[in-house]
Amino acid sequence: METFGLYLGIFGVLFVLGIPIVLALALAAIIMLLLSDVQLLVFAQKFIVSLDNYNLTAMFFFIFAGELMNGGGITRRIVGAVSRLIKGIPGGLAIVAVVSCALFAAINGSAIATSIAIGALLYSPMVKQGYPPAFAAAVIAAGGIIGPIIPPSIPMIVYGSITGDSIAALFSGGFILGLLVTIGEIAVIYLVSRARGYGAGGEVLVMGETKGAFWAVLFPVLIFGLIVGGLMTATEASAFAVMYAWFVGTFVFREFEWKELPLMVYRAMKGSGMIMAIVGSATAVAWVLTYQRVPQQVTEAMVQNIGSPIMFMAVAFAILFFVGMIMDLTPAILILTPIFMGPVASFGIDPVYFGVFFCSVLSAGLITPPVGTLIYLGCATSKSNLGQVVRQLLPLVGAVYLALFVSVLWPEIITYIPRTLLKM
């Protein structure tokens, strides 16, 4: 345990100094290797080997599919179609933002990409309809975290690549939980908007030509059905998502422009490359912790001091909540996964259930200060300070964590679909 504390101290100092997360992880791994009297060549070996994983290919394709959706008019039609259903409801446009985030998330799987894509379309219209800038930014940030929960999910791909659990099962386990989070956010937005008079009687949001919105709304349903139905693996479905987005954008909506393709590929490669670099560095850190028997020590301490699986889940919830506040999503998954695998097996907890819960709680950290990435994205978009955005986020954060806590009390929220459809 002293090793783990030492690592957190090293990483914390580097983070406070403003060193980029990838370099902070890499430097922490190198320092830990030196202190453990292990050759530095191990860092390079673990870095490269961790990237040699077929499942990680899906990250690039899902991110690329999101780029094609934006360029081909699919994202805009999803927003337009949802907007027509919400006319006249208090907070209608904010609700449109959350529902659109959920639909976009069902194809892309990334919290940041979801917030950027939907925010680009809806932030300005929300402000024009009288929503305060900080509230509009908070809604889009909260909607963004649905991305890693509703299938497909890039964090779950990373988690499954470490544990060997079925990625299709992890995806399907997040479906009901993602809907629960979405409903919770909608309820909060409705109550807050009705109390403050936001958006009541707002006009339908006109997003240009919305003819053919059926093709856009069909997209997430099709991807989920192919994965859960066992017709495609997550990686195959990600490649199919790229082809579908390109085909519809080119031949149905006729908005895809070939001249934009290089930039789309560049953004997708940059986004997935950043994640892969974090994967490599964090894997080296995880190896050092394993080499020092930190996972075994954690397992022994938990088994000796925690009396039941439900108590373990409550403790895990508290740990993940705290870690999500101070560490970014991907490195947290990579570092903590090996540590939790032992206790999960010892307490007989369904590994798919824990994996979905684990990724979802850490994803919620993206809207939890002080390190929440989506909070700072909202600040940059709205030109609001951290305090203003956080104040508007607090009710939404409460709804998200309430949904996650409910999944601790009723694990069937996560396990029902994998057990029913995939016979897990």
Q: What's the CA gap between 127 and 92, in Å, rounded?
A: 13
Q: What's the CA gap between 30 and 81, in Å, rounded?
A: 51
pLDDT tens-digit readout, 240-297? 989 999 998 899 888 888 999 999 999 888 878 877 887 787 777 778 777 777 767 7
- In this structure, is residue 28 part of a structural domain? no
What pLDDT score does 202 carry? 54
- In this structure, is residue 283 part of a structural domain? yes
What mean pLDDT is predicted for residues 66-82? Answer: 82
- In this structure, is residue 164 part of a structural domain? yes
Q: What's the CA gap between 250 and 388, in Å, rounded?
A: 42
- In this structure, is residue 298 part of a structural domain? yes
- In this structure, is residue 295 part of a structural domain? yes
Integer-rounded Cα radius of gyration of the chain: 21
pLDDT tens-digit readout, 404-420? 999 988 999 999 998 88
Identify the band that residue 212 occupies on the pLDDT scale cut at 50, 70 and 90: low
pLDDT tens-digit readout, 22-36? 788 788 878 878 887
Question: How many C-beta atoms surround the C-beta of residue 250 within 10 A?
Answer: 16
Question: Which residues does 123 contact at the CB level (< 8 Å), separation at least 6?
Answer: 136, 137, 140, 381, 382
pLDDT tens-digit readout, 125-182? 888 888 899 999 999 999 999 988 988 888 898 898 888 888 889 999 999 999 999 9
- The more confident residue out of 257 and 203 is 257
Q: Whose CA is closest to 245, among 59, 101, 62?
A: 62
Least confident of 93-97, 204-208, 316-320: 204-208
- In this structure, is residue 18 part of a structural domain? no
- In this structure, is residue 212 part of a structural domain? yes
Q: What percent of the chain has pLDDT over 70?
A: 93
Identify the band that residue 203 occupies on the pLDDT scale cut at 50, 70 and 90: low
What pLDDT score does 398 carry? 94
Question: Which residues does 318 contact at the CB level (< 8 Å), separation at least 6?
Answer: none
Report the domain count for the chain: 1
- In this structure, is residue 42 part of a structural domain? no
Containing domain of residue 95, as a range?
Answer: 53-421
